[in-house]
Copies of this chain bind each other. A is one copy, B any other.
Amino acid sequence: MILVNGQASESIPALDRGLAYGDGVFRTMRTRSGAVLLWPQHYRKLHADCNRLGIECPGERELFADVERIAASEPDCVLKLIVTRGPGGRGYAAPADGIPTRVAASFPLPSARPGCDEQGVRVSWCSTRLGDQPALAGVKHLNRLENVLARNEWSDPDIAEGLMRDDTGRVIAGTMSNVFILEADRLVTPALERCGVAGVQRSRILALADSLGVRSSIEPVPPHRMLAADQVYLTNSVIGAWWVAALEARTWRRCDLTPALLAALECP
C-alpha cells in the first residue's frame, strides 16, 4: 500500500524536489500486529531532520493518520515514510510557498536470518567511504548514493551488511545500520558529527544502556578498535540488533551479555 499526501496512489509529481535533488528525509519503521513501533521517536527524528534542511515538517497528527492506515492494512510490515520539500520549478532555490510531499509505503518484512540470534551475522568492509559533510551529518536525507554504491560492492547473500568508514578510515556505520562495539562492560558507538545517520535505534540503545548495567559512550572507532572489541552489533529499526559473528577473517563468539542486550532492543 502506498499513500501519497494521504491518498492511495502509485505515483508522485515528476517535478517533486525529492526526485530532482533528493531534497527530503525519510524513516524506515516496523509495524507489528497493526501497531507502528517507536512512532514518537520516529516522528521526533523526522521533525528534527526536516528542521536541519529547512523543510516544514507536516504535523504529527497528519503523518500518524498515514502510518496508521498503512499499519491497519499491513499489520506486520516495514513501513517507509518520506517527506520531501514538495513540487518545485527548476533551480536549487526552495520555493517560498512549497508544500511538502508525504509518501508512506509498506514493504514485506525482510526474510528472517534463521538462527541469527545464536549464530550472529557475517559482515565485510566496503571500500566506498562516507564523505565528510557536517551540514548533513546525522540526517536521514534522500541523498543516499554513497550507501547505494557501498551496498552494491557485494552480492554474496551470506554477507548481511557492509561496514563503511570515513575519509580518515574510522568506522562510521553499516550501509543500513548503526554500529556498536562492546569493550568489557562498555558500549561504544562512532561519533557522527561529520557523516553517517544517527538512527532512532542508536539513540534508544544509548538511552537503554544504563538499565542493562553497561556504560555507553560516543567515540571515534578506528578499525583496530573494532577488531579488538569483545562484540560488535549492528542496529536499525527493522532488524533491531544483530551481533557480528564474522568480519571477514575476524570471528567472534557470542558474549554472555548479548542475549540480554538483544532482548532489550526488541521493539516493544
Contact = CB atoms under 8 A, between A and B. Distances in A.
Interface of A: 2, 4, 9-23, 26, 28, 53-54, 78, 80, 82, 84, 89-94, 103, 105, 107, 128-129, 131-133, 135-136, 141-152, 167, 175-176, 195
Number of identical monomers bound together in the oligomeric complex = 2
A152 B98 CA distance: 14
Give 3 closest A-B pairs by Cβ, nearest first. A22-B22, A92-B151, A131-B133
A152 B103 contact: no
A2 B22 contact: no
The residue in A144, A146, A148, A176 that gathers the most chain B C-beta atoms within 10 A of its C-beta is A148
Contacts of A133: 129, 131, 146
Q: Which of A9, A16, A150 neighbours the largest number of chain B CB atoms within 10 Å of its CB?
A: A16
A133 B132 CA distance: 8
28 contacts: A2-B15, A10-B14, A10-B15, A11-B11, A11-B12, A12-B12, A14-B105, A15-B105, A20-B82, A21-B145, A23-B145, A53-B145, A54-B149, A78-B90, A80-B90, A89-B107, A91-B151, A92-B144, A92-B147, A92-B151, A92-B175, A129-B135, A131-B131, A131-B195, A133-B146, A135-B146, A136-B145, A141-B145
B93 A151 contact: yes
A6 to B, nearest CB: 13
Nearest to A139: B145
A46 B135 CA distance: 28
Contacts of A150: 92
Given A53-B149, A90-B78, A149-B53, A132 B135 contact: no
Contacts of A142: 19-22, 145
Nearest to A94: B152
A144 to B, nearest CB: 4
B14 A14 contact: no
A23 B145 CA distance: 6
